[in-house]
Amino acid sequence: QQQVKQSPQSLIVQKGGISIINCAYENTAFDYFPWYQQFPGKGPALLIAIRPDVSEKKEGRFTISFNKSAKQFSLHIMDSQPGDSATYFCAARGNTPLVFGKGTRLSVIA
Amino acid sequence: DTAVSQTPKYLVTQMGNDKSIKCEQNLGHDTMYWYKQDSKKFLKIMFSYNNKELIINETVPNRFSPKSPDKAHLNLHINSLELGDSAVYFCASSLRGLSGNTIYFGEGSWLTVV
């Protein structure tokens, strides 16, 4: 049973456009929602994270939107750049280890 | 300096062999993990240790045996390797047990069983 559902599987965005990746969860005990970025041949690295007491968190071009009632959260990448091309994972945890979504492969084309 | 380092980075071996992957973290964390990433990029936790004690053991064949000699090291030994074991294995660490905020990953060990 997948605890965090992520979509889309892959995404192609023009340079300068907005990339949006969505995740949904079921476990209401989850209290921490990070996004990880993974480049080919590297390990995942924390990009940005949010807790359910806020609805939005912004760091540079990256924004997490969080909807507690809908049990959904999303990553928005503004002004997407070719260097943003990577696989993005949403994740969640409560009193358990992080569980990951299945990942979204983002390609930003010039 | 690499925060979470694991060796080897690449490993090609034959079915039936036994192999080990080593992991060390220099972040002073008290919790370490092994994750497996399959060919479809799905990341799944295998084991977690907190202060050298096993706290998470997901449904993993007992051919996989983690060993934590101290808080900074978590090694993974795999017996009788099978084709389906081919994957990337990531070591990771965090602070404050299971509720630690940021998990830091190593760069992965790419295991190919032929």
Minimal Cβ distance to A89: which of B43, B104, B107: B43
Chain A residues whose C-beta is within 8 A of a chain B C-beta are 32, 34, 38, 41-46, 49, 87, 89, 93, 95-100, 102-103, 105
pLDDT at B40 over 90: no
pLDDT at B99 over 70: no
Q: How far is A48 from chain B (nearest CA, A)?
A: 10
pLDDT at B102 over 90: no
Closest-CA residue of chain B to A105: B41
C-alpha to C-alpha distance for A94 and A30, rounded to whole angstroms: 4
Report yes or no: A34 and A46 within 8 Å, Cβ to Cβ. yes
pLDDT of the residue at A23: 98
pLDDT at A1 over 60: no
| Banded model confidence at residue B100, pLDDT cuts 50, 70, 90 | low
Residue A95: C-alpha distances to residues A4, A10, A98, B83, B100 (Å): 15, 30, 9, 34, 9
Pairing of strands B64-70, A10-14: unpaired
Average pLDDT over residues B86-91: 97
**A10 vs B58, higher pLDDT:** A10
pLDDT at B41 over 90: no
Q: What angle do CA A63, A65, A71 make, to 5 degrees?
A: 150
Residue A29: C-alpha distances to residues A24, A34, A71, A102, B72 (Å): 14, 15, 11, 20, 30
Taking an 8 Å cut-off on Cβ atoms, the answer to whether A43 and B106 are in contact is: yes
Q: What are phi and psi of B97, to 5 degrees?
A: 60, -150
Taking an 8 Å cut-off on Cβ atoms, the answer to whether B99 and A34 are in contact is: no
Q: What are phi and psi of B84, to 5 degrees?
A: -70, -10
Taking an 8 Å cut-off on Cβ atoms, the answer to whether A103 and B43 are in contact is: yes
Question: Does residue A48 come out as left (phi exceeding 0), alpha (psi in the -120 to 50 range) or beta?
Answer: beta
